[in-house]
Amino acid sequence: MSHNGFKRAGAAAGVVVATGAALLLGSGVAAAHVSAQVIGETAAQGGYAKITFRVPNEEEDAGTVKVEVSFPTDQPLSGARTKPMPGWKSVVTMTKLAKPVEVNNTDVTEAVGKITWTASPGTRINPGEFQEFEVSAGPLPETDQLVMPATQTYDNKKVVAWDTPMTEGGEEPEHPAPAIALVPAEEADEHHGGAAASDHDDTEAEGTESHDVENAAAESSDDMTARWLGGAGLVVGALGLGFGEGAT
């Protein structure tokens, strides 16, 4: 590559690096709030899901020591389990409903009211860090979205409420409430069925590829054997010729 070519390549690389840094900074600013997501699966109405709450630390001189997530009682969840985390204690608080709500043909009289994670002494989410808190919960309500307001408490006593619902087509609020999208059970079944078919196709392709490799290996082995036998025949023939000449 010419000197000018190296200069152009270096300039292009600088643009890519600068652009990547800008994107990372932009995404960091946009993601600097408590959020909820369902990773690697579809949250189906009437089913169960693992919900992950991502909690970044926004303070420069304080650490997060408590996270509390509230759940709606008009769209109740009858059960929730938390994943153990070293240094954190979790408590699931149940709430008595004003009147029973039918969920999956069962009358639910109490539901998950809130889940609280409290850091043990010496544990916190430090400035510039984040933590993820996982919950398995359900059955999920028959609604398009499950909104779960949260509060974040720092060791300097500051409390931040993430409780503003998102509005369709509107701008993101300063403190949006964590939420996950829910889909009808039949759509979730179709999604998983497609994934299963894809997995099956991949497995079949891998099997075919493996079979082709085995055939190629066998052919190669046969070819090597034939060459070895041919070579051995030539050697024996040469030896025979040598002995014949010696005898004369």
Asked whether residue 169 falls in the same domain as residue 53, the answer is yes
Do 30 and 80 fall within a single domain? yes
Same domain, 39 and 70: yes
C-beta neighbour count of 42 within 10 angstroms: 18
Q: Model-level pTM? A: 0.65
Residue that finishes a domain, picked among 148, 165, 183: 183
Phi then psi for residue 37, to 5 deg, are: -155, 155
End of a domain among 183, 199, 219?
183
Looking at the fold, whether 177 and 232 belong to one and the same domain comes out as no
Q: In the chain, how many H helices and how many E strands? A: 2, 11
The answer as to whether 4 is a domain residue is: no
Same domain, 166 and 216: no
DSSP, collapsed to helix, strand or coil, labels residue 11 as helix
Number of domains present in the structure of the chain: 2
Euclidean distance between CA atoms 211 and 150, whole angstroms: 54
Closest CA to 160 of 30, 26, 33, 29: 33
16 within domain boundaries: no
Of 165, 183, 201, the one marking the end of a domain is 183
What is the CATH number for 128? Answer: 2.60.40.2230
Long-range contacts of 104-109 (CB under 8 A, 24+ apart): 104/46, 104/139, 106/78, 108/76, 108/78
- 158 in the same domain as 46: yes
Tens digit of each residue's pLDDT, the chain (248 residues): 554 544 444 444 343 333 333 333 333 334 579 999 998 778 999 999 999 999 999 999 999 999 999 999 888 999 999 999 999 999 999 999 998 887 777 788 999 999 999 999 999 999 999 999 999 999 999 999 999 999 999 999 999 999 999 887 778 899 999 999 999 988 866 655 444 333 444 434 444 444 444 444 445 445 544 454 455 454 444 444 444 444 44
